[in-house]
Amino acid sequence: MNLGYYPGCSLHGSSDDYQQSLKACFDALGVSLKELDDWICCGATAAHTLNRKLSIALPARNLALASQQGCEELVAPCSMCSMQLKKAQKAMAKDAALAEEMGRIVEAQPNDTHVLNLLQAFDRVGLETIKAAVKEPLKDLKVACYYGCLLTRPPEVVGFDDCEQPVSMDKVVEALGATAVAWNYKTECCGAGMTLASEETVLDLSHKILADAAAHGAQCIAVACPMCNVNLDMKQSVIEARYGVKYGMTIYYLCDLVGLALGLTPKTLGINRHFVARKA
């Protein structure tokens, strides 16, 4: 299987352990990821909070590149990137004048590339395929599947899974032999890109997530977004210090878990590069 790949700035930056894990895992599943050539930043939070046109143009440029490079399906593992790309597509589909304007602004015409977030990418590979490839089932592992905000919301834009009681990640985790725990903060925000701009927000929101996962007996939390990872993993020690608590909760990218079940080593998957030491 060949899929296009849009890393986004985080996966080439401080979250390149996510890219490491993703590539190793998909490689083992027989999926080849072809990185979009000369991709640019999707604009993330900054573009959509400061300038509407820019928030559509930057994704539009990438969608145009994807069309030019013959890419029909584009995996965007960062949930913010995938949301910006999908939102831009939707806005242009609704408004032909806007699509034309964007074509002029980005100097190329975006077409109908299918954007996939990580959950959709695994769905595309197929649960049966993943199950069949499992060599070391993750028995007795209790995982809290954390979807966060942008993987399932808003439903008219994402069009995948249920936005109130999502199950797509749980199904993958269970296909690996692990247990997906029932918990309350599956889709509550972690604070997203406010890590630097408003640290208090992130500490407050991410603390609640860690607390609820722990209260429901989770041994680890699985995420499918680099910002969620930063807020729950990198900031965990800050949260513990601030609130006087101790969690030591291992944070995995979903592809980490898949990779482990496929028999890949933690080092190959970059798990040793996480902040919270791996316990479970």
Residues at the site binding another protein, with contacts judged by CB under 8 A: 9-10, 12-17, 38-41, 43-55, 57-58, 61, 91, 105-107, 149-150, 153-155, 162-165, 184, 188-189, 191-194, 196-199, 201, 205, 212, 215, 234, 238, 272-275
Per DSSP, the residues of 42-73 read --HHHHHHH-HHHHHHHHHHHHHHHHHTT-SE
CB-based contacts of 13: which residues, under 8 Å, 6+ apart?
A: none
* Beta carbon nearer to another protein, 56 or 125: 56
CA distance 54 to 59: 9
* Beta carbon nearer to another protein, 123 or 199: 199
Give the alpha-carbon dihedral of 14, 27, 159, 145, to 10 degrees. -60
CB of 134 to another protein, least distance (A): 28
Backbone angles phi, psi at 19, to 5 degrees: -65, -40
CA distance 169 to 50: 33
* Beta carbon nearer to another protein, 2 or 49: 49
Q: Report whether 11 contacts 77 (CB < 8 A).
A: yes
* Beta carbon nearer to another protein, 143 or 189: 189
Q: Report whether 164 contacts 187 (CB < 8 A).
A: yes
* Beta carbon nearer to another protein, 20 or 219: 20
Backbone angles phi, psi at 146, to 5 degrees: -105, 115
CA distance 91 to 169: 28
* Beta carbon nearer to another protein, 43 or 259: 43
CA distance 224 to 149: 11
